[in-house]
Amino acid sequence: MKKIINVLTSATVLSTVLLSGASYAAYEIKVNDDETIKFGGFIKIDGRHVDGNVGYRDFWIGSGTVLAEDASQTKFFANESRINTTYTGNGVTAFIEMDFYGGGGNEIISNSSNPRLRHATIKYDNFVIGQTWTTFMNTSALAETVDFAGAMVGEAFVRNTQVRYSKNGFSVALENPESYGGDPTNDSMPDMIAKYQFKGDWGNVSVAALVRQLTTLTGETESAAGVSVAGKINVAGKDDFRFQLHQGNLGRYVGVAAAQDLVGEEVEESSSFMVAYRHFWTEAVRSSVFYGNITTTESDVDRSHWGVNIFKNYTPKFSIGAEVGNFEMAEADADSTYMQVSAKLAF
């Protein structure tokens, strides 16, 4: 209770600082009758207060630093802001996007930070080649959150360089391998993924399967496989329910560093899920409540993340959001409560 009170006390300060925003507009260049270039992205300014014995992070992933005693920290940052460029012409679409989580920041003087590549893809016909979200993901099943991506402990969340073929709801891909916890220098087989997505006026549900060959620290090869069911279901009005269920030897594909692919010479097995409900109070005001959890067999991980938020759109592209939640590492008897407020303007 003390953690929650401390976090809520900080909310007033955070909200006051973040209510100012700049104005930007989308920009499109028509090169000729067949080619266009678009510039987009968003600016997002965040204020975050964390209180507990899991160390501060700008956003929760699947792991954390357990502290000897509770600590309280507040930060303001703009790293999640991103810019992208899309080229379309002659049957080809190319997309590149960067944010500013590339490190190099200096909070003493300039608060500068380096750009980081997120996506770089070329699409032609039914093929996508490049770095983007893994085919194993259903991106529509991510909750709308202030904390970047929400309950990552229960989500499939990886960007891979890949070659993907998609048609009529079916996708198959070869993706970059990486034996997390093993010896990736001897990875010789790409990860293989197949997914089918059902769609309708009711929403969508995807079923995906992953097959990999992992390399242990001693050079042995181990097979790994896992499955996922995820989706977004439209409910009354504009409300929606989002969910993800994952089971198997999924390692780095689920939970964002909560589980390794290999623990010693053993292939890790994990079970994870995420559920979220979004409700529209009015056309301009909406809230989401979400919860995610992951447990593993070899490393005995048990981690969860819950949150509840509210967003208000002041213009179609400018919004303010606030969120309260908790991240827990149950196997280490550690948790932290957080409060985050953001101002976001999309291009």
Q: Which residue pairs from 70-75 have beta carbons closer than 8 angstroms and sit at least 24 positions apart in sequence?
A: 70/3, 72/6, 73/49, 74/10, 74/13, 74/14, 74/47, 74/48, 74/49, 74/50, 75/47, 75/48
Chain-wide mean pLDDT for the chain?
Answer: 92
pLDDT of residue 26: 59
| pLDDT the model gives residue 130 | 98
Average pLDDT for residues 42-46, to the nearest whole number?
A: 97
For domain 2-25+45-77+126-346, say whether CATH 2.40.160.10 is its number.
yes
Structural domain boundaries in the chain: 2-25+45-77+126-346
- pLDDT for the residue numbered 72: 97
What's the pLDDT at 135? 98
pLDDT of residue 39: 94
Matching residue, tokens 């003390």: 2
Distances (CA, A) of 73 to 66, 164, 299, 329: 15, 42, 29, 19
Q: Looking at the predicted structure, is the pLDDT value of residue 25 above 80?
A: no
Residue range 243-260, pLDDT digits in tens: 999 999 999 999 999 999
Q: What is the pLDDT of residues 185-235, one digit of tens each?
A: 999 999 999 999 999 999 999 999 999 999 999 999 999 999 999 999 999
Q: What percent of the chain has pLDDT over 70?
A: 93
Alpha-carbon distances, residue 15 vs 44, 48, 85 (angstroms): 14, 10, 31
* Mean pLDDT score, 232-241: 96
Vertex 319: Cα angle to 282 and 143 (nearest 5): 75
**Residue 27 above 90 pLDDT?**
no
Say yes or no to pLDDT of 22 above 50. Answer: no
Which has more confidence, 241 or 112? 241
Q: pLDDT tens, 77-107?
A: 999 999 999 999 999 999 999 999 988 878 8
pLDDT of residue 3: 53
Give the mean pLDDT of 44-56. Answer: 98
Query: How confident is residue 33, by pLDDT bands cut at 50, 70 and 90?
Result: confident
pLDDT band at residue 145 under the 50/70/90 scheme: very high
**pLDDT tens-digit map of 264-311:** 999 999 999 999 999 999 999 999 999 999 999 999 999 999 999 999
Check pLDDT > 90 for residue 168: yes
Tell me how far CA of residue 326 lies from CA of 54, 167, 344, in angstroms: 10, 40, 23
Q: Is the pLDDT of residue 17 over 60?
A: no
User: pLDDT confidence of 11, banded at 50, 70, 90?
Assistant: very low
Query: For residue 41, is pLDDT > 90?
Result: yes
